[in-house]
Structure 1
Amino acid sequence: MFKHVRKETPLLFGVVMAILLYGPAAFLFGDTFSLPIFLMLFVVLFCVMMAMSFSAVRHADHLADLLGEPLGTLILTIAVITIEVALISSIMLSGDAAPTLARDTMMAVLMIVMNGVVGVVLLVGGFHHREQEFNLRGANAFLTVLVTLASMSLILPKFTVSTSDASLNNTQSELFAVITIVLYATFLAMQTRRHRSFFVQPLAENASEGGAEHHSHGEANSILFHAVLLVGILVPIVLLSKKMALLANFAVGTWQLPAALGGVLIASLVLAPEALAAFHSARENYLQRAVNICLGSALATIGLTVPAALAISVFINQPIQLGVTNTDLTLLLLTMFVSALTFGGGRTNMLQGAVHLVIFVVYVVLIFDP
């Protein structure tokens, strides 16, 4: 009993933190913050939310072991993207969000996952195993839907003329939200039912090295146990995201930081556990799980974040700009092209990882020096 309680310490901290910040300590969140108070609140909130994110991924990972692929990885992806959507929604509903927040967050997720995480994963996997195999049909399915949704959501609004900026009018927003949900739901149906085999590690001569097994978080309990705790830990994360949103808005507005940093902060917070899971899978020569995590996260970001952001925009009558800048457009198109080449064959190596990391470094540099 004590062992289980000790493992759920992040959940306990999160519940206590939520009670305090919505109760006795609510006065700390006013219209402005002194630097010491801001730093204290930011560090504590960030650490608690990061710990809870890792705990959520631990339960999702156990469900992945119990349910098998691709359902396990799908649960992991949905859990993480739920945190991202909660953070973006909280900032948008606060009324002080920049109109480009959702766009910057989605762009940050795509760049971090498709270039940063994929680059490290392929480098690590190539270093330990020279070449690694994955299921080509699954990767092609991911990329087909991802390129379509990313183009519709982040590129097309830049060229529409129904508004004076890179946004959509209400009719377009409603239509795009519905189309995005329908296409993503169609993909999920294909992934979990009709073509489930597309997302399973192909048989290889080195399957006995541990690639077909994935037990990185100790002994698992029942499916119900992990499912209940996974949902339970997402609740305080969603509540605390509202407080983190206030801090993020204050920092960007007060110190004139690049607006894209808000998106990078959200993306880093929610992607760290998944990045670690992908890294661990590649090191164990189970590249398919890493591919499912990376491409699944990128796709879920577009498939879930775009409808949520557009729905909130229409509901509160606050336009959002989804069309990317010219610089980001170049990086996005380059990422799509290189990803198609990387996942267009059945094997990967270190060189492909290095190329993705170079694109990621360029993205980070251009945030601060566009």
Structure 2
Amino acid sequence: MTTLTLRSLITGAALARMALGWGAVGALAVAAPLLAAPTPTPLLLMVLGAIIAVILLCSFGVVHEAEQLARRLGDPYGSLVLTLSIVLIEVVLISAVMLGPGDHGTIARDSVMAVAMIILNGVIGLALLLGGLKHGGLRHNRRGSSAYLAMLLVLLAVAFALPALIGINGSYTAGQQIPVMVLALALYAFFLLRQMGAQADDFTETDTVEPAAATAPKLPIKAVLRRHHREILTRLGLLVVTVLPIVLLSHTMATLLDQGLGRAGAPTALAGMLIAAIVFLPETITTFHAALRGQGQRVSNLCHGALVSTVGLTIPAVLLIGLLTGQTVLLALPPADLMLLAVSLMLTAATFGGKQATAIHGAAHLSLFGIYLLVIFT
């Protein structure tokens, strides 16, 4: 790769976004004493507004790099790059919170539940509504969608339903945690191996998608990596360096959100949902772009793939930390949340069981997301 090509990849806008994101992270670290509770309301609102603005600007940079990688690599590889970049950072930060002072035994349960409802109903619902209104319906690869649903049914049941039945007070015993960790990691690893190998075609757009909307590369993936490895590594580096401040800033603002929502009398669970929504903002924007282009399978890859990765990596990580530190990791969901999760999975099966997902399906998912918000405020 020539110097000119590198300059075309690492643009002034990309450098400005990285500088803005990391500058904001540094500024918050320096200003931490000033933001200690109780933070004056005007200062709290000003800092929250600034953080959200920085996150939005950085998100557009992440989306740009992700879409360029998707065009170069094709799906499912393009979607996996963005999904794993965000999810791995999120898992690391959840683990860091658990390893810090205090009792954080429910952070994995609360975080993954929020992510599940946002992705399965909020993001997918709006994406299908937009795509359905524009294209009449979004065609998807039913074999890939079925594989995602099979993974989600097993992982979510083992994570959030089974502990209430065989565990103690909603937590797995020490003897149960190791088999659960091994099962989750082995299943997820096998899924990734098949998704990137023998069953990769199951996660590509159907033949009915317009050629202009297709993202699959003409060359085999190994040939693409050999020919364009420098460009791919450069864009991957830009994506990670741009997405990391988003996650760091979203978790830094958690304390400020807790204060603000507490003063407003809002439920504390709302803060976790807002944090999850902000962390996955780049993936959300990319999903909407895909829906508007009529790429139904890319919508599934981004959303369902993100949730499979979140559950498949987060649960083993927190169970391992619980074993090493002696913390009790509470995973069993309350009845209302468990019911919503079960209905969400059944609705997902109905939506992606047919050849097309329509605006009606999107409206149903959005309605269920509204019910989730009602449960939070109740």
Percent identical residues: 36
**Structure 1, residues 177-226: CA drift from partner, whole Å, max 9, x if none?**
2321211111000100111000011111x524x32159xxxxxx921221
Q: Which residue of 2 aligns with 1:308?
A: 317
Q: Which residue of 2 aligns with 1:218?
A: none
**Structure 1, residues 39-73: CA drift from partner, whole Å, max 9, x if none?**
33333233323433442332222211111111000
Matching residue within 175, 196, 216 for 1:171 = 175
User: Within 5 Å, which residues of 2 pair with 1:138-217?
Assistant: 138-161=144-167, 163=168, 165-204=169-208, 207-208=210-211, 210-213=212-215
The one-letter amino acid of 2:36's match is G
Q: Residue 91 and residue 51 in structure 1: after superposition, are their counterparts in 2 closer, same or farther (change >3 A)?
A: farther
Distance in structure 1 (CA, Å) of the matches to 2:51 and 2:173: 36
Q: Which residue of 2 aligns with 1:328?
A: 337
Q: Residue 271 and residue 320 in structure 1: after superposition, are their counterparts in 2 closer, same or farther (change >3 A)?
A: same
* CA deviation after TM superposition for structure 1 residue 297, in Å: 1.4
Structure 2: state its 5+ residue gaps.
1-6, 217-229
How much is the aligned-residue C-alpha RMSD, in angstroms?
A: 2.6
* CA deviation after TM superposition for structure 1 residue 256, in Å: 6.6
Q: Is the 8 A contact 1:120 1:353 kept in 2?
A: yes
Q: Residue 283 and residue 53 in structure 1: after superposition, are their counterparts in 2 closer, same or farther (change >3 A)?
A: closer
* CA deviation after TM superposition for structure 1 residue 299, in Å: 1.0
Q: Which residue of 2 aligns with 1:288?
A: 297
Matching residue within 241, 264, 275 for 1:266 = 275
Q: Is the 8 A contact 1:102 1:309 kept in 2?
A: yes
Q: Residue 247 and residue 167 in structure 1: after superposition, are their counterparts in 2 closer, same or farther (change >3 A)?
A: farther
Q: Is the 8 A contact 1:90 1:242 kept in 2?
A: no
Q: Which residue of 1 aligns with 2:221?
A: none
Q: TM-score, normalised by structure 1?
A: 0.87
SS in 1 for 2:172: coil
**Structure 1, residues 212-247: CA drift from partner, whole Å, max 9, x if none?**
159xxxxxx921221221232344445545533443
**Structure 1, residues 267-287: CA drift from partner, whole Å, max 9, x if none?**
111222222211211211111
Distance in structure 1 (CA, Å) of the matches to 2:101 and 2:264: 19
Q: Which residue of 2 aligns with 1:103?
A: 109
1:78 aligns with 2:95: no
Q: Which residue of 1 aligns with 2:12?
A: 5
Q: Is the 8 A contact 1:132 1:287 kept in 2?
A: yes
**Structure 1, residues 313-356: CA drift from partner, whole Å, max 9, x if none?**
33433323211111011111111111112111222222222221
Q: TM-score, normalised by structure 2?
A: 0.85
Distance in structure 2 (CA, Å) of the matches to 1:29 and 1:316: 30
* CA deviation after TM superposition for structure 1 residue 176, in Å: 2.0
Q: Is the 8 A contact 1:181 1:304 kept in 2?
A: yes
Number of matched pairs: 358
SS in 2 for 1:8: helix
* CA deviation after TM superposition for structure 1 residue 170, in Å: 3.0
Q: Is the 8 A contact 2:76 2:195 kept in 1?
A: yes
Q: Which residue of 2 aligns with 1:223?
A: 232
Distance in structure 2 (CA, Å) of the matches to 1:233 and 1:340: 34
Structure 1: state its 5+ residue gaps.
215-220
* CA deviation after TM superposition for structure 1 residue 147, in Å: 0.7
Q: Which residue of 1 aligns with 2:356?
A: 347
Q: Which residue of 1 aligns with 2:227?
A: none
Q: Is the 8 A contact 1:53 1:80 kept in 2?
A: no
